[in-house]
Chains A and B, each alone.
Chain A
Amino acid sequence: MTIRDMSYSAVMARKNEIMKQSMGMDYDQFIQSPIAFDYESMMQATGYSMDDIMRIQSETKVGKTPLIELRNLTEAVRKISAPGKGALILVKDEAANASGSFKARRASVAVYDARRKGYKGVIAATSGNYGAAVASQAAQRKLKCIVIQEIYDSRGIGQPEIVEKSRACEAYGAEVLKLTVGPELFYMQLRTLEETGFFNASLYTPFGIRGIESLGYEIGTEVKIRYGRQPDVVAITHAGGGNLTGTARGLKLADCPNTRIVACSVDLSGLHMASDTDFNRKSFTTGHTGFGIPFATWPDRVDVPRNAARALRYMDEYHLVTQGEVFYITELLTKLEGLERGPAGNTSLTAAVGMAREMDKDQILVVQETEYTGAGKHHNSQLSFARENGIEVRRGDPGESVPGRSIIIPEHLSQVAGKIQDMDKLRRSYLVNAANHLPVGNWTEDDVLFLAEDTKSSVDWVLANKPE
């Protein structure tokens, strides 16, 4: 047996070789330049149709989740809206998937493909619901599973939500590698892929994103049948971009071109994602701006050569909400609708309240996910942990909260408003990142066209806004 250099730099240098072996897919065929690549061909290279995906998912308890009317919440929103305003709010109860979140859709196709290609096991590096989803799918497909998680700070203390997600992975029979804070998670992932020869069930492969298309497809199809119109808005919690990308693509397949795609994240500005001390000062471990903004403005910062999740390509609006607003809405959902669900999955529901107020009564707003709840993954757990860690928790104006220092829970539904982001600023930020990868002077016509498509703008806009 050859003894390989396992140092950080040596393993990172073998990245491309390890990636190719662990995915059975060669990205080189799609890549046109440091910026441009053939996105649609990459997505189609999975070889699965929507029918195939829905069949694969029905085999492992994924999909066809209930789309329910939140009548009491809608009524409460109408009470604080101008006459004639207050869209009907629907929620897709994705907690009903095996493992309790939409991430089961994302994992299902990847794990199916791993099995079909003859891999003995799958590996995912994630601290989110995706770990449990991969573990649950792997268990059903009789594959081994390793989940690599960033769980603890250097004192060995973990966020209750992440600890719960770790427990869930172990419950489904996965080996969990529990790590302290740091981007070296990717190094661990590469090392483990190399040691085991397992399949890389990355969050960002075409398999993962194609798996989410069924979510948008089910929403579009069902809303049209039940209400005779396309959903006016679909609100989507946004972090790495997969949820938004897959759902938006599915809505297109369901022939809903008029549906507005609205991204929603929890505002955690000011907290550093790789900081050992900030780590446990966050009360959200996903669905927040620490992922949402960097991934929207440069998707290719991931563990695969090109990211299949490309949020700006599909995003019409981007709303931010505070931690306190999401906790308020999570409690309200429980009390008004008799539905107890995990807080992180209610991020888009929170933004939906502010949006529904401005929309007409006959319009339809779909919140496209919920997630399971339980010890750790619960707003009371999060707030209790925050308070123990010296974060101020009180009722008041959520606009006064400072991430990492205070969580302010609204006193009234009318204070749940969200904050709309400047889309052109995000797009310009994307162009700056593109220029860092390839100087503007070297951009070809293909690059400019790709950038226009990838930012949902136009060639003229890209040319007018390219960095100096």
Chain B
Amino acid sequence: MAMVVKGTWVEIMQVVLQPEERAQSLPEETRKTPYILRASGFLLEDAEMDQPARIKTIIGREIGGTLVTVNPGYTHSFGKTIPELLTIGTEFEK
């Protein structure tokens, strides 16, 4: 099992509400899923991936959960080019 050292920037995941604890009047497809929290912070003690861990967030709060990601980042982008947009506003547009 991979050990992650104290002080590493990580993401934890926590089940906030099990399906049966969730709000009434949810659509069926939502009600059958647990309500899940993800948060990032510095690992407070060495921990293994997919095991319980505690973090200190950027504002100094402590949160516990399951260690899921090391160095969580962002991968959102401008996406693949949508050719349908390209000619809008150009001389090639009818």
- CB–CB B59/A146 < 8 A: yes
- CB–CB B27/A275 < 8 A: yes
- Which of A27-35, A43-51, A93-101, A177-185 touches B? A177-185
Bitwise interface map of A from 1 to 24 toward B, beta carbon under 8 Å scored 1, else 0: 000000110000000000000000
Known: A184-B17, A184-B23, A380-B81. 8 other contacts (CB 8 A): A151-B38, A175-B58, A178-B39, A276-B33, A334-B89, A335-B88, A379-B82, A384-B80
Where the two chains meet, the residues of B that have a C-beta atom closer than 8 Å to any C-beta of A are 16-17, 21-23, 26-27, 29-30, 33-41, 57-61, 74, 76-82, 84-85, 88-90, 93-94
- CB–CB B58/A174 < 8 A: yes
- CB–CB B84/A393 < 8 A: yes
Write the nearest CB–CB distance from B35 to chain A, whole angstroms: 5
- CB–CB A163/B35 < 8 A: no
- Residues in chain A near residue B80, CB distance under 8 A: 384, 387
Kindly identify, within residues 133 to 158 of chain A, every residue whose CB is under 8 Å from any CB belonging to chain B. 144-146, 151-152, 154, 158
Chain B residue with the shortest CB-CB distance to A275:
B27
- Residues in chain A near residue B40, CB distance under 8 A: 170, 176
Bitwise interface map of A from 54 to 76 toward B, beta carbon under 8 Å scored 1, else 0: 00000000000000000000000
- CB–CB A383/B79 < 8 A: yes
Which single member of A151, A180, A196, A327 contacts B33 (CB below 8 Å)?
A180
Which of A158, A174, A375 gathers the greatest number of chain B CB atoms within 10 Å? A375
Knowing A175-B58, A184-B17, A383-B79, say if A274 contacts B84 (CB, 8 Å).
no
- CB–CB A163/B76 < 8 A: yes
A155 to B64 Cα, complex, angstroms: 21
Write the nearest CB–CB distance from A118 to chain B, whole angstroms: 17
Write the nearest CB–CB distance from B49 to chain A, whole angstroms: 16
- CB–CB B57/A188 < 8 A: no
Where the two chains meet, the residues of A that have a C-beta atom closer than 8 Å to any C-beta of B are 7-8, 121, 144-146, 151-152, 154, 158, 160, 163-164, 167, 170, 173-184, 187-188, 196, 272, 274-277, 327-328, 331-332, 334-336, 375-376, 378-385, 387, 393-395, 409, 411-412
Chain B contact residues, majority secondary structure: loop
- CB–CB A277/B29 < 8 A: yes
- CB–CB A188/B16 < 8 A: yes
Which of B34, B58, B88 gathers the greatest number of chain A CB atoms within 10 Å? B88
A196 to B63 Cα, complex, angstroms: 12
- CB–CB B79/A332 < 8 A: no
Which of B89, B90, B94 gathers the greatest number of chain A CB atoms within 10 Å? B89
- CB–CB B82/A179 < 8 A: no
A332 to B61 Cα, complex, angstroms: 45
- CB–CB B81/A276 < 8 A: no
- CB–CB A184/B35 < 8 A: yes
Knowing A174-B59, A276-B33, A336-B89, say if A167 contacts B74 (CB, 8 Å).
yes
- CB–CB A184/B22 < 8 A: yes
Knowing A179-B16, A383-B85, A411-B94, say if A375 contacts B76 (CB, 8 Å).
yes
- CB–CB B29/A276 < 8 A: yes
A181 to B74 Cα, complex, angstroms: 20
- CB–CB B58/A170 < 8 A: yes
- Residues in chain B near residue A170, CB distance under 8 A: 40, 58
Write the nearest CB–CB distance from A411 to chain B, whole angstroms: 7
- Residues in chain B near residue A180, CB distance under 8 A: 33-36
- CB–CB A176/B39 < 8 A: yes
- Residues in chain A near residue B81, CB distance under 8 A: 380, 384
- CB–CB A381/B33 < 8 A: no
Write the nearest CB–CB distance from A301 to chain B, whole angstroms: 13
Which single member of B23, B33, B38, B41 contacts A187 (CB below 8 Å)?
B23
Which single member of B26, B29, B38, B58 contacts A183 (CB below 8 Å)?
B26
- CB–CB A331/B23 < 8 A: no
Chain B residue with the shortest CB-CB distance to A173:
B58
- Residues in chain A near residue B26, CB distance under 8 A: 182-183, 274
7 examples of A-B residue contacts, CB within 8 angstroms: A154-B34, A175-B57, A177-B37, A177-B39, A179-B35, A276-B33, A277-B29
Chain B residue with the shortest CB-CB distance to A159:
B76
Write the nearest CB–CB distance from A165 to chain B, whole angstroms: 10
- Residues in chain A near residue B29, CB distance under 8 A: 275-277
- CB–CB A8/B22 < 8 A: yes
